[in-house]
Amino acid sequence: MNQQKDTYKKMEGQDSSGSVKAGKYETVIGLETHVELFTTTKMFCGCKLSFGADPNTCTCPVCLGHPGTLPVINKKAIEFAIKIALALNCTINNYSIFHRKNYFYPDMPKNYQISQYDLPVSSKGYLDVDMGDYIRRVGITRVHLEEDTGKLIHTGVTGRISESAASIVDFNRAGTPLIEIVTEPDIKSPAEAKEYLISLRNLLLYLDVSDCSMEEGSLRCDANVSVRPAGTAGLGTKAEIKNMNSFKFLQKGLEYEVLRQVEILESGGKVIQQTRHYDHVTDTTKALRSKEEAHDYRYFPEPDLVPMQIGDSIIKEIKSAIPELPFEKTARFVSQFGISIYDCRFLVADKNMAEYFEKCCVLYGNAKTVVNWLMGDFSALLNKDDISINESKITPEKLTRMLEMIDNGRINSKIAKSVFEEMFATGTDPQKIIEGKGLEQISDEGMIESLVDKVINENPGTVEQFRSGKVKALGFLVGQVMAGTKGKANPKLVNEILLRKLR
Amino acid sequence: MKEESLNFFPAHKLNKMLKNREISATDIAGTVNSAIQKVQEKLNVYIRLESEKMLEQAKQVDSYIGNGGEVKDFTGIPIAIKDNICTKGITTTCASKILENYVPVYDATVVKKLKDQHFVLTGKANMDEFAMGSSNENSYFGNVKNPWATARVPGGSSGGPAASVASGTAICALGSDTGGSIRQPAALCGIVGLKPTYGLVSRYGLVAFASSLDQIGPLTRDVEDSASLLNVVCGWDENDSTSINQAHPDYTRFLSGDMKNMKIGVPRELMVNEMDSEIKDSVTRALKLAQDMGAVVEETSLPSLEYALSVYYIIAPSEASSNLSRFDGVRYGYRNGTAETLRQMYKKSRAEGFGPEVKRRIMIGTYCLSAGYYDAYYEKAQRVRTLIIEDFRKAFEKYDVLISPTSPTTAFKIGEKVEDPLTMYLSDICTIPVNLAGLPAISIPCGLSSKDNLPMGLQVIGNILREDNVFRAASSLEKAIGFDKIPEELYKS
């Protein structure tokens, strides 16, 4: 009993990465991520993809599963799949086929899903996940293509199936191209799982194949998680966790599940293989169905489609069209702009941010200054308004013009901050803001001198303190001079002149 | 020619007469319609008749021709469509309760192609439910009777299409053939039935039974109509990924009736002992005629054909179990109104909507695809299927065509085999291997049995996309055999 309590304490004392620090257990996680591709049309018919369209308006006999209809593969979706697979360092399989996955559910028009099984479009790759002080290489088992289902809407206030009188189906989503990315059980902690998903999402955004919105369900992630005694090689019994629809919930759901499994083992129990549902309100996982109740999907090769033969020339062509990816970009930024890895990580984590940064660097020589502004004031305001940098009213041209004004001494950094805020709010050119508000820095030595004289005369006590060795008193005097110019005086000049007069 | 017999003319003759303005489309439709009025009740050929529309359509065709419209091969020709081929706005039931009121919102590709010809639709022809059966006794709308002997079956599953042509209630028909469903009823009804190479005719709009075996094909009065109807319906279709993207020849070029030096193989495995000896004799007689015309005839062996029936009854039900899962009462078709849960709705709708043979095959297929059984059944069947394909490939290195009986028996009595599905399955023993290998094959009449005056059929099998050889041999034999009988008794009473 005592021992058990002890272990639990050690568990509580786990580090922020969520791994079982006590060293008694190791966590093993594999992730399955589904990504809706934003091709123009659906996976197997000509219907437009339709986020937000009126229910059942983007449908046809094929995606409604009418009798006699047949699927035709969307070539663009295959191209996207290959692109993703290549970016994940996968082997593209020259010969690949679709299978039918059979099960009954009302959101699935044919009561089978066209998916891939033992001959997927690609397999055996990896994604390097930057954990800050180490890199976790996560093996990618496979990347395959399939079709999405429709959406069930349960009538009633709560939207819960148990409390609704009826369920209605919207088939707009049915047939949307879906990529499934399956990892090896290489992920060692909930924190790594979260970082993996962040990296994967970022990669997909760079590839421009999906909007990757977890909120809207275009990026969905399920996890297989198990624990095992530290240092052992075999895998423990796993649970599949569903419904972790944000980065935060992924980590929290897994943290809960790891604890649950360790507790079971510690109390001498056995983990049952089952599918569990994460509830973010209670922050727990609940059993959905056990292995015995699991579906037998009766996979067999889809006879309505012919095998996909993907030639090397097509692979080459797609490969050459892949843009610079986050890892490559980081390396280049370090060498090209001489900024730190830490800075690069920040920039590269957002494709738009990285692009913005590069545009600024074409216009303006000091990369580090640009990064400081992007990481500091700019990010703060973007976060506050919850917008992306490419939605901001400040263009790289405006930002760099402002930076030049600071360098040229036309405005000081304090004024710059208010100019920046104004630019952010209105998009006005910094030159106009300065002119309109008379914010230009005062560097007229005669004017500053007469102000300094005035401040010295008005504050004999402070002057005396300074002269008797209280250096801090200088700050007050500078402040007085600055106040006299409403902050516009060149602070460097004020300092110089004050010191000269005080000696 | 008397107008009354127009309904027993082949389309190519009617086409010439239309072109020469000897007759009108209305004349043809009128004759066919009065035949329908006379025998539909007796034979139950059609699930849905389009009599009024048919006459209206014929009128429109006449004015189209009157206005200088081109008379194509099937312009104004009354054609029956099997009720598993989708017709926009016209029920397509698959002879099942589950689709009793289903009205497609689109036309099958073959129907579109016929519409481009300005054809005239007689109606939707009866069939075995979801094309599962060899006697047309599995129809929710009642069985079809053989025009030659109404106490007997017309064969199946395209019993309605075959009986429509045989009874003169359509000039031609389109059917579907998964394991013999065009050729076997054609043989039992004394007409010509062709299953084209898999992929030659688009399956888009054909309600799937077994996707890797299904193929649409013509049922016609003679080989020439078969070739010209194939000309119209074949060709690549962007809506069917399994359709062959390749130009096709004009198949009527191969009807010279000359089979000199053609090499014919006769597979031992398709001349089995269980066959009616008279059928074997009639095929042997036809082979003698072929030799007289200068063809070389040899017995040969395709050993793996022995397993064809077993392979078929694993693969076809497996695919069917998946294809038919969409009939669930959710979006269209029959739904049980009393179910209180989702599972109940599925179970009751399907239990009440499907007939016994369909359920049997869904169960067989579901079993064969189940985890733990897949390797032993489906996977193994696919491997044996490859052996069958290989046997055919080798045979066609030596022979231009293979010839066999189409069906081991003539039309059997209604009810005779209903209680014994395994015996029923044997009806397709000669036709099934052809579907497994995706080959083209035709059934032509080769005489009437002396015992009961029932039609017998002969099958000509060709290599993949070698419909040319099939038509060459079939047209030669057709001429030599000279079968010109129609079921006259039908109209006497």
Long-range Cβ contact pairs of A494-503 (< 8 A, separation 24 or more): A494/A448, A494/A452, A497/A445, A497/A448, A497/A449, A497/A452, A498/A452, A498/A455, A498/A474, A499/A474, A501/A449, A501/A452, A501/A453, A501/A456, A502/A456, A502/A463, A502/A466, A502/A467, A502/A474, A502/A477
Is the Cβ–Cβ distance between B319 and B211 less than 8 Å? yes
| Interface residue A68 vs chain B (CB under 8 A) | yes
Residues of chain A found within 8 Å of residue B103, distances taken between Cβ atoms = none
| 3-class SS letters over B426-476 | HCCCCCHHHHHHCCCEEEEEEEECCCCCCEEEEEEEECCCCHHHHHHHHHH
Per this entry, what is the length of chain B? 493
Choose, from B24, B96, B181, B226, the residue flagged as catalytic. B181
Interface of A with B in 385-404 (CB under 8 A): none
CA torsion sign for B8, B12, B13, B19 is: positive
- Give, in degrees to the nearest 5, the angle at Cα A372 between A371 and A373: 90
DSSP B388-439: HHHHHHHHHHH-SEEEEES-SSSPPBTTSSTT-HHHHHHTTTTTHHHHHHT-
Q: How confident is the model at residue A350 (pLDDT cuts 50, 70, 90)?
A: very high
Alpha-carbon gap, residue A47 to A175, rounded angstroms: 9
The H-assigned helical ranges of A29-132 are 75-87
Among A337-346, A376-385, B247-256, B414-423, the range scoring the smallest mean pLDDT is B414-423
Query: How far from each other are the two terminal CA atoms of chain B, in whole angstroms?
Result: 23
Mean pLDDT of A293-305: 92
- ipTM score of the complex? 0.96
Residue A292 is predicted with a pLDDT of: 66
Is the Cβ–Cβ distance between B102 and A66 less than 8 Å? no
Mean pLDDT of B449-471: 97
Does the annotation mark B157 as catalytic?
Answer: yes
Q: How confident is the model at residue A22 (pLDDT cuts 50, 70, 90)?
A: low
Reported pTM? 0.90
Residue A52, judged by CB atoms within 10 A of its CB (0-12, 13-18, 19+), counts as: exposed
Q: Which residues pair with A35 in a beta bridge?
A: A179, A219
Mean pLDDT of A8-25: 49
- Using CB atoms, which residue from A68, A300, A304 is nearest to B205? A68
Instruction: For residue range B260-299, list pLDDT tens digits in order.
Output: 999 999 999 999 878 899 999 999 999 999 999 999 999 9
**Nearest chain B Cα distance for residue A80, angstroms:** 20
Is the Cβ–Cβ distance between A228 and A235 less than 8 Å? yes
Instruction: For residue range A88-140, list pLDDT tens digits in order.
Output: 999 999 999 999 999 999 999 999 999 999 999 999 999 999 898 899 999 99
Interface of A with B in 75-104 (CB under 8 A): 100, 102, 104
β B192-195/B172-176 pair status: unpaired
**Nearest chain A Cα distance for residue B281, angstroms:** 39
Does the annotation mark B115 as catalytic?
Answer: no
In chain B, which residue's Cα lies nearest the Cα of A114? B322
pLDDT at B332 over 60: yes
Alpha-carbon gap, residue B183 to B405, rounded angstroms: 10
Looking at per-residue pLDDT, the higher value among B52 and A148 belongs to: A148
- Residues of B with a Cβ under 8 Å from any A Cβ are 84-86, 92, 94, 99, 102, 104-106, 108, 203-208, 210-212, 238-242, 318-319, 321-322, 325-328, 330-332, 342, 346, 366, 369-371, 374, 378
Q: Report residue B234: phi and psi, to 5°.
A: -85, 175
Beta strands (DSSP E) in A21-111 are 25-36, 91-92, 95-96, 99-102
Alpha-carbon gap, residue A447 to A131, rounded angstroms: 55
pLDDT at A1 over 60: no
Does the annotation mark B82 as catalytic?
Answer: yes
Q: Hey, of B99, B130, B322, B378, which one would you mutate to test binding to chain A, going by the most A CBs within 10 A of its CB? A: B322
pLDDT at B4 over 70: no
Whether B108 sits inside 8 A of A304 (CB atoms) is no
User: What SS3 state is found at A107?
Assistant: coil
Is the Cβ–Cβ distance between B172 and B79 less than 8 Å? yes
Mean pLDDT of B294-322: 97
Place of tokens 């009810």: B415
- Give, in degrees to the nearest 5, the angle at Cα B245 between B244 and B247: 105
Q: For the CA atoms of chain A, what is the radius of gyration?
A: 30
Q: Hey, of A98, A298, A302, A305, which one would you mutate to test binding to chain B, going by the most B CBs within 10 A of its CB? A: A298
Residues of chain B found within 8 Å of residue A111, distances taken between Cβ atoms = 325-326, 328
- Using CB atoms, which residue from A61, A112, A305 is nearest to B322? A112
Is the Cβ–Cβ distance between A396 and A356 less than 8 Å? yes
Residue B238 is predicted with a pLDDT of: 97
Q: How confident is the model at residue B179 (pLDDT cuts 50, 70, 90)?
A: very high
Tell me the CA distances in angstroms from A68 to A412, B94, B334, B464, one per residue in order.
73, 11, 17, 24
Q: Which two structure tokens, joined as six digits, stand for B233? A: 């319906």
Choose, from B157, B282, B321, B443, the residue flagged as catalytic. B157
| Interface residue A342 vs chain B (CB under 8 A) | no
pLDDT at A19 over 60: no
Residue A12 is predicted with a pLDDT of: 36
Q: How confident is the model at residue A28 (pLDDT cuts 50, 70, 90)?
A: very high
Contacts of A62 (CB under 8 A, 6+ apart): A44, A45, A47, A69, A70, A71, A72, A175
pLDDT at B450 over 70: yes
pLDDT, mean over chain B: 96
Whether A300 sits inside 8 A of B369 (CB atoms) is yes
Residue B84 is predicted with a pLDDT of: 98
Alpha-carbon gap, residue B355 to B137, rounded angstroms: 11
Among A66-80, A174-188, A435-449, B132-146, the range scoring the smallest mean pLDDT is A435-449
pLDDT at B351 over 70: yes
Contacts of A335 (CB under 8 A, 6+ apart): none
Q: What percent of chain B has pLDDT over 70?
A: 99
User: What SS3 state is found at B316?
Assistant: helix
Q: What percent of chain B has pLDDT over 90?
A: 93
Looking at per-residue pLDDT, the higher value among B97 and A458 belongs to: B97
Q: How confident is the model at residue B451 (pLDDT cuts 50, 70, 90)?
A: confident
Residues of chain A found within 8 Å of residue B331, distances taken between Cβ atoms = 64-65, 109
Mean pLDDT of A389-417: 90
Q: What percent of chain A has pLDDT over 70?
A: 94
The one-letter code for the residue type at B62 is D
Domains of chain A: 2-313 (no CATH), 323-437 (no CATH), 445-502 (1.10.10.410)
Mean pLDDT of B302-307: 96
Q: Confirm or reject CATH 3.90.1300.10 for domain B3-303+389-492, answering yes or no.
A: yes
pLDDT at A2 over 60: no
Q: Hey, of B315, B358, B369, B373, which one would you mutate to test binding to chain A, going by the most A CBs within 10 A of its CB? A: B369
Query: How far from each other are the two terminal CA atoms of chain A, in whole angstroms?
Result: 77
Is the Cβ–Cβ distance between A67 and A111 less than 8 Å? no
Contacts of A346 (CB under 8 A, 6+ apart): A353, A371, A374, A375
Is the Cβ–Cβ distance between A481 and A494 less than 8 Å? yes
Is the Cβ–Cβ distance between B342 and A104 less than 8 Å? no
Residue A51 is predicted with a pLDDT of: 77
Q: Report residue A354: phi and psi, to 5°.
A: -60, -40
Residues of chain A found within 8 Å of residue B102, distances taken between Cβ atoms = 67
Among A212-216, B238-242, B312-316, the range scoring the smallest mean pLDDT is A212-216
pLDDT, mean over chain A: 90
CB hemisphere CA count around B332 (13 angstroms): 19
Per this entry, what is the length of chain A? 503
In chain B, which residue's Cα lies nearest the Cα of A168? B330
Residues of chain B found within 8 Å of residue A71, distances taken between Cβ atoms = 241
Contacts of B426 (CB under 8 A, 6+ apart): B274, B309, B408
Which of A227, A216, A180, A225 is closest to A200 using CA atoms? A180
Residue A6 is predicted with a pLDDT of: 34
Looking at per-residue pLDDT, the higher value among B66 and A447 belongs to: B66
The one-letter code for the residue type at A5 is K
Beta strands (DSSP E) in A111-171 are 112-115, 122-130, 135-147, 151-154, 167-170
Residue B492 is predicted with a pLDDT of: 85
Q: How confident is the model at residue A366 (pLDDT cuts 50, 70, 90)?
A: very high
